[in-house]
Each structure stands twice: as structure tokens, then as C-alpha cells.
């Protein structure tokens, strides 16, 4: 007669399973955080190298499906991150991403950069109107923007309108910042208007030391 395990053992097995599952979940959450924290270091190196050489893009690691196209700085909330090309999930896992369908910074229209609310763009919660944003790269130039509008939009009922928008920089992240669900409809949208042309940048830099 096949001996069935005792009930106590079943409880133990079940408990063990639950503990393992729980640890696995916590571990994967940690992995997401770790990827988000470590990747920008590698990407920063790639960006520094691509600034030196005229060759672009330089991939941060050989199998990467994205690469840095610029650098975003919001000094008031200590955001200082390389910007990646693309806005799909596998890009945003490593850093804020530039939406290829939006305009290049310095051109006419919106430049859209998105980031995850629980990693890279978490500090956006503390950004206030009138604060400075600096974007470096794409074409090698440095541009200054000033936050002029912060909104929460419902992504189910509203889309990014690149045609009818004022020129500037749009930083997009999810909202609310402490929600659990990753598929919520709300987005926290920070609009920064172009502040100065390149030629005036040196004067501005003196008054806003980055």
C-alpha cells in the first residue's frame, strides 16, 4: 500500500511552497530594481564614449536592443540619467526612453521621454513648476527647459498629441506613484518649455550651476 505523506508534512510542503513563491516574488522585484539601478551606470559609459567619437549609437552592452541618445538632468530632484532610444517595456526597464514618434529636441514639436514611476522617474513626483530641466545630446547640443505644466492624464481617454502641441519636452511616468497595479490608466505628465537657444546657454549656466 502506497504510504501517503502525513498531514503535517503536507502543511510543511505547502508552507515551503508559499515561502518559496513569496521569496521568488520579492527576488524578482529586487531584480527589477537592481536592473534599473545598475543599467544607467553602463549606459552612462556608453554615452560618454559616443560623445567622444562621432560614431553613434554605441550600445551599453553587446546584446542590448537600445542605446543612449542623450542625457536628462532635473537638478532639483536629482535626476541625472542617460536617455535611451525607444519607449517599449524592455527599454524602460533600463532607463528613461525617448519616443521615436515624437520630435527631436531642438526641433518643432514635442519631445517625449518616459520613465518608470517606481524606478527612474520616481523623483518626478517632487518636481515643481518653474524648475529647470536640461537635456543633452541627440545632436550633441545642450538644451534648457523650464517646467511649466504638470498634469495627470488618463491614458485610456487621451493620447499624446504631437501635432497640435507647443514645442517642448514632455516627461511621462505612471500615476499614482505608489500604486500596485502596473497597468493603471493614469499618467503623470510634466511639460517643460524650451527656455533658451544654444547660444545663450553659457549665460544661463552661470545662474543655474548644474
Nearer of residues 48 and 140 to other proteins, judged by Cβ: 140
Q: Which residues contact 174 (CB under 8 A, 6 or more apart)?
A: 116, 117, 182, 184, 186, 187, 188
158-161, long-range: CB < 8 A, 24+ apart: 160/99, 160/102, 160/110, 160/112
Cis peptide before 124 (omega within 30 of 0): no
Nearer of residues 19 and 38 to other proteins, judged by Cβ: 19
> From the CB of 185, what's the least distance to other proteins, in Å?
9
Q: Quick one: CA dihedral 145, 208, 128, 79, positive or negative?
A: positive
Task: Single out the residue of 119, 109, 121, 114 nearest to residue 171, CA to CA.
Answer: 114
Nearer of residues 164 and 206 to other proteins, judged by Cβ: 164
Contact in structure between 82 and 138 (CB atoms under 8 Å):
no
Nearer of residues 75 and 194 to other proteins, judged by Cβ: 194
> From the CB of 8, what's the least distance to other proteins, in Å?
9
Q: Quick one: CA dihedral 161, 98, 134, 182, positive or negative?
A: positive
> From the CB of 51, what's the least distance to other proteins, in Å?
13
Nearer of residues 159 and 207 to other proteins, judged by Cβ: 159
Amino acid at each position: 500500500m502506497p504510504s501517503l505523506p502525513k498531514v503535517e508534512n503536507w502543511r510543511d510542503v505547502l508552507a515551503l511552497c508559499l515561502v518559496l513563491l513569496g521569496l521568488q516574488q520579492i527576488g524578482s522585484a529586487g531584480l527589477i530594481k537592481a536592473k534599473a539601478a545598475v543599467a544607467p551606470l553602463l549606459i552612462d559609459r556608453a554615452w560618454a564614449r559616443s560623445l567622444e567619437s562621432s560614431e553613434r549609437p554605441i550600445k551599453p552592452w553587446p546584446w542590448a536592443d537600445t542605446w543612449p541618445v542623450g542625457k536628462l538632468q532635473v537638478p532639483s530632484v536629482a535626476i541625472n540619467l542617460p536617455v535611451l532610444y525607444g519607449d517599449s517595456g524592455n527599454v524602460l526597464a533600463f532607463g528613461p526612453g525617448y519616443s521615436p514618434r515624437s520630435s527631436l529636441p531642438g526641433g518643432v514639436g514635442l519631445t517625449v521621454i518616459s520613465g518608470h514611476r517606481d524606478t527612474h522617474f520616481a523623483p518626478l513626483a517632487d518636481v515643481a513648476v518653474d524648475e529647470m530641466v536640461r537635456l543633452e545630446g541627440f545632436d550633441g547640443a545642450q538644451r534648457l527647459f523650464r517646467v511649466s505644466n504638470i498634469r495627470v492624464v488618463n491614458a485610456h481617454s487621451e493620447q499624446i498629441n504631437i501635432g497640435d502641441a507647443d514645442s517642448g519636452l514632455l516627461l511621462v511616468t505612471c500615476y499614482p506613484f505608489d500604486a500596485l497595479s502596473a497597468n493603471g490608466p493614469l499618467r503623470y505628465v510634466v511639460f517643460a518649455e524650451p527656455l533658451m537657444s544654444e547660444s545663450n546657454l553659457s549665460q544661463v549656466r552661470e545662474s543655474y550651476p548644474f
